[in-house]
Structures are given as structure tokens and as C-alpha cells.
Amino acid sequence: MPDAIHASLAELQASFTETHTAQSRDGSVRAEATARRQTALYLSPGALRLSPSDLAELILETQREAQSAAEAAVSSRLDGFRADPRVSTALDSLRDAQALPTPPPTRRPSRDDDENYTVSVYNSNTSW
């Protein structure tokens, strides 16, 4: 069962680095992003003819769309991870094992440790 968890976690982790692309309506701006960061921004020659404020607005909008697509992919994988019956079974087993741990073995001393030392000193045959 732990292999199911590791496999699902690997898929989830991979979704953090997957690149997602968004393009402006007119096609002049294209952005690529992962769930963590913006990775690329492409401007067409036509985009450079836009006013600076319009270009900035298109860039921000396109970057947000790419970032949202990447975050949606992570959320989808996370939901899939949570819904995977193999994972839920493994997590339930782990929870149950931790809830009812096996008690550590108890050591029953036959005698007190100090008593053993005292007896060994007084019963020794060596001269002091």
C-alpha cells in the first residue's frame, strides 16, 4: 500500500513543474507558467505596437490565466490523490497502526541494580 501513496505523490509532485500555456484573445501574448512560477512570456511583433498600458494588461491577464491553469492542475491531482482508494486504504491502515501501537516490551528486573552491585562487591574473593 505505501507504493500507492508514493506513486500518487509522485504524480502530484510532477504537477508542480508541468508547464501550462495561456494565450491572449488576439494571440499577441503567450505566457507559460508552472504552479510555482512564471516560466516564459512570448510577445508577437503585433504586441509591440500596442500601447504600453494595453500591453501590460494583456501580459498580466495572460500570466494569470497560465498560472490559474497550473494551479487547477495541481488541485485536480490533489483531489485525485485524496480520492484514490489505494491511498485512502493505506492512510487508514497507517492511522489505525498509530492509534493502537504495540506496547514496548517490559523488562522485569529480577533484583534491584544497586542490590546486585552491593552483593557482588561483598561476595568478591579479591583482597582490597
Whole-angstrom distance, CA of residue 18 vs CA of residue 9: 15
Q: What is the CATH number of the domain that holds 50?
A: 3.30.1310.10
Tell which wins on pLDDT, 46 or 81.
46
Angle 75-80-86 from CA coordinates, rounded to 5° = 150
Angle at 69 (CA atoms; ends 67, 75), nearest 5 degrees: 105
In a domain, 113, yes or no: no
Position 123 in a domain:
no
Lowest mean per-residue pLDDT among 32-36, 38-42, 66-70, 88-92: 88-92
Asked whether residue 63 is assigned to any structural domain, the reply reads yes
Q: What is the pLDDT of residue 53?
A: 94
At residue 119, the pLDDT reads: 62
**Percent of the chain having pLDDT more than 70?**
78
